[in-house]
Amino acid sequence: MAHAIKENRMTKLRLYSAKACPFAHRTRLVLQEKAIDFELTEVDLQNKPRAFVDASLYGKVPAIEHEGHRIWESAIINEYLEEVFPEPRLLPREPGRRALARIWIDYANTRLVPAFTQLLRAETRDQEAAGRKALGDVLAFIEREALARSSGQGPYWLGAEVSLVDVSFYPWFERLPAVGRLRDFSIPAELTRLRAWIEAVQARPAVRAIQNPVEFYVERFAKFVKPAATTAA
């Protein structure tokens, strides 16, 4: 199935994905932003097809096959796509700004994702409170040290143009309202730049094209919330 408007190269790319996976969501967004024609294989991670196992040696989504290459891990896939399909550009040209982009992508992987998971998968009230604080601290750091310093007057993480940084963070923010319902968490009102950034990214056609409703994530996340730890929506 083709999922973009135009084909950039002769050999169509194949993406192995899972609709609920935020890491696969990252790569779907890059493909949409760059209008890369591709064939989608939706993977049941409980019953992995042989072709997917061959393509992803870690057994995780996303993975791609393109021109004889098998590539996995979302951050690596996305940089590959940036190099092979350079327009529109999603990383800055200037080396220092490009390094900054990679630092923030690493922050998403090493700080945001663990804090999000800590809150979602908490098994006791104390763990839930610790997860809520951890995620709140990460969001405050993003407001103070990222968006207040890097965005300037632009709506996106690095300013006027969307980048791989926006793509790397956004999937967790699409899922955050579902965590909010299940764990009584919301973005503090004073994080105004973060709220504006979410609105700007959500308005992009590439984001809207593959967006899932909050209920989709609530249904999938509910299994992580034990009855004793559930809070009011």
Band of residue 151 on the pLDDT scale cut at 50, 70, 90: confident
Task: Give the residue extent of every domain in the chain.
Answer: 14-84, 95-223
- Is it true that 14-84 and 95-223 share their CATH fold? no
Distances (CA, A) of 61 to 52, 57, 89, 199, 229: 9, 10, 24, 27, 30
Could you give the CA distance from residue 110 to residue 90 in angstroms, rounded to a whole number?
Answer: 21
Question: What's residue 1's pLDDT?
Answer: 34
CATH class for the domain made up of 14-84: alpha beta
Residue 8 has pLDDT above 80, yes or no: no
Q: Which residues are marked as active site?
A: 21
Could you give the CA distance from residue 206 to residue 79 in angstroms, rounded to a whole number?
Answer: 18
Residue range 37-64, pLDDT digits in tens: 999 999 988 888 888 988 888 899 999 9
Please give the structure tokens belonging to residue 161: 């143009």
Burial (CB count within 10 angstroms: exposed 0-12, middle 13-18, buried 19+), residue 109: middle
Could you give the CA distance from residue 54 to residue 49 in angstroms, rounded to a whole number?
Answer: 9
Count the Cβ atoms, other than its own, within 10 Å of residue 148.
Answer: 13
- Torsions phi, psi of 159, nearest 5? 125, -130
Residue range 179-226, pLDDT digits in tens: 999 999 999 999 999 999 999 999 999 999 999 999 999 999 999 887
Could you give the CA distance from residue 222 to residue 212 in angstroms, rounded to a whole number?
Answer: 16
Which position has the token pair 């940036």?
82
- The helix (H) or strand (E) run that includes residue 99 is helix 95-107
Task: Classify 217 as helix, strand or coil.
Answer: helix
CATH topology of domain 95-223: Glutathione S-transferase Yfyf (Class Pi); Chain A, domain 2 (1.20.1050)
Count the Cβ atoms, other than its own, within 10 Å of residue 227.
Answer: 5
- Torsions phi, psi of 13, nearest 5? -80, 145
Could you give the CA distance from residue 105 to residue 128 in angstroms, rounded to a whole number?
Answer: 26
Band of residue 5 on the pLDDT scale cut at 50, 70, 90: very low
